[in-house]
Amino acid sequence: AQSVAQPEDQVNVAEGNPLTVKCTYSVSGNPYLFWYVQYPNRGLQFLLKYITGDNLVKGSYGFEAEFNKSQTSFHLKKPSALVSDSALYFCAVRFPNDYKLSFGAGTTVTVRA
């Protein structure tokens, strides 16, 4: 069974500092990996995905994520965080031949001014 873990329930950073949200997965093969963001009282918004190719993936709002196969990780990063980045972030994984997305429990990011 595939699973994805977000080891940190909360991440707190100061505005302008780098932001990292961690995600690891425990599946074999070549999974597809995703990051979504959820703002209060709103649905999930797609940020970026890794399918194949370059391990560094760039997405919306200045976010990027690095796929590391040896460490089975897909950490989300932003070089300089904004207060408006405060939200709930979800990592998700799926296999190419399985159309189901499995989500992590989420990480709450708080960026203080």
Partner 1 sequence: EAGVAQSPRYKIIEKRQSVAFWCNPISGHATLYWYQQILGQGPKLLIQFQNNGVVDDSQLPKDRFSAERLKGVDSTLKIQPAKLEDSAVYLCASSLVRGGVGFEQYFGPGTRLTVT
Residues at the contact surface with partner 1, assessed by CB under 8 A:
34, 36, 41-46, 49, 90, 92, 96-97, 99-101, 103-106
- Is residue 101 within 8 A of residue 1, CB to CB? The reply is no
43/113 with CB nearer partner 1: 43
Count of beta carbons in the 10 Å neighbourhood of residue 37: 22
31/106 with CB nearer partner 1: 106
29/43 with CB nearer partner 1: 43
Nearest approach, Cβ of residue 8 and partner 1 (Å): 14
CA angle 32, 35, 41 (to 5 degrees): 140
Task: Return d(Cα 17, Cα 37) in angstroms, integer.
Answer: 19
Task: Return d(Cα 69, Cα 60) in angstroms, integer.
Answer: 23
75/103 with CB nearer partner 1: 103
Nearest approach, Cβ of residue 111 and partner 1 (Å): 21
Under 8 Å CB-to-CB from 53, ≥6 apart: which residues? none
Nearest approach, Cβ of residue 45 and partner 1 (Å): 7
